[in-house]
Chains A and B, each alone.
Chain A
Amino acid sequence: MNLSDFTHSTYIAGLSGGLLIGIAAAMFVLLNGRIAGISGILGGLVQADKGDKTWRVLFLLGMAASPFAYRIAFNLPAVTIEAGTAQLIIAGLLVGLGTSYASGCTSGHGVCGISRGSIRSIAATLTFMTAGFITVYLTRHLLGL
C-alpha cells in the first residue's frame, strides 16, 4: 500500500506532509530553541568554529532513518530524477553556495522564517521561488532540456 493511494490526492498528501514538517519545526524551536533549517544544520558540520556537532549529526541521522521508518508501513513513493549527472553536480554547487550566502533554504527561510514573520525570510523565499520558476521555464520551455 502506498500512502498516497488512500489519501487519493496529491494535495492532501502535500498538506499532511506539510503539517508533519510543521510539527517537527515546532518541536525543534520549542524544545531545542533552534531553527529546523537543513542547509544550516548541514553547513554547521563543516564549519570549524561550530563546536556543536552532535545534535547536527543526530538530526541528519533522523532524516536518514525516515525512509526506513516509512517503509515499515508503506511503499516508498517513486522518485524520478530528470536532471543528468552533470546538471546534478552543477545544481548541487549552486544550491550549496546559494543557501550558504543566503543563510537558509526552503526549510529555514521558507518554513521557519515565514512562520516567525521574518522579512528576510519572506524576501529570500520570494527570490528563490522566482529564480526556480524562471530557471524551469528556461530549461524546459526555451532550451528544451
Chain B
Amino acid sequence: MLNINAFLVGLLFGLGLIISGMTDPSKVIGFLDLAGAWDPSLAFVMVGAILIGAIAFNIAKKRQRSLLGAPMQLSSATELDKGLLIGSLVFGIGWGISGFCPGPAVNPKHGYLLRRCWPG
C-alpha cells in the first residue's frame, strides 16, 4: 500500500509540475529574472502547493504514525547550520544557471537533457 501510494504521489507530483509549466527551464529562469520580463508563475505554484501542504502538515505534525501506520518521519532540527545555508546557496547558483531543480530534472520525457544527448 505504501509503495502504491509512492507511485501515485510521484505521478501526481509530476503532473503538477507539467501543468504548472515548471518542467520548462526557460519559464523557471523567467521567474528568477527579476531585471527582465519577470514571470511570477512559480510564485503561484508555491502558493497553491503550500495552501494544501499547510493543512496536511498541520495534521501530520500532531501524529506519531501516518494513516497507513507508517512512522511519521518529520525532521525536528531547527539549527541554521553552515551545510543548510551554503548548500542552499550552491543549489541556487546551479538552479539559476540551468533553470532545473531536482523535480523537473528527473522527469525523463520532459527534463530533456536526454533529448539533447540522443537526437530525434
Contact = CB atoms under 8 A, between A and B. Distances in A.
Given A79-B23, A80-B25, A95-B95, A116 B67 contact: no
Interface of A: 3-4, 10-11, 13-36, 38-39, 42, 54-56, 58-70, 76-83, 85, 87-88, 90-103, 105-107, 109-112, 114-120, 123-125, 127-137, 139-141
Interface in B60-75: 60-61, 65-68, 70-75
Contacts of B83: 101-103
B71 A33 contact: yes
6 contacts: A16-B19, A20-B16, A27-B8, A101-B87, A116-B57, A136-B33
Interface SS of B by simple majority: helix
B103 A105 contact: yes
A13 B99 contact: no
B82 to A, nearest CB: 9
Contacts, number: 424
A32 B116 CA distance: 36
Given A99-B102, A127-B85, A140 B24 contact: no
B34 to A, nearest CB: 6
Interface of B: 1-27, 29, 32-36, 39-61, 65-68, 70-75, 77-80, 83-103, 105-110, 112-113, 116
Contact of A67 (B51, B98, B109): B109
A21 B102 contact: no
Contact of B89 (A31, A61, A98, A119): A98
B91 A59 contact: no
A135 B7 contact: no
Contact of B20 (A14, A93, A98): A14
B6 A131 contact: no
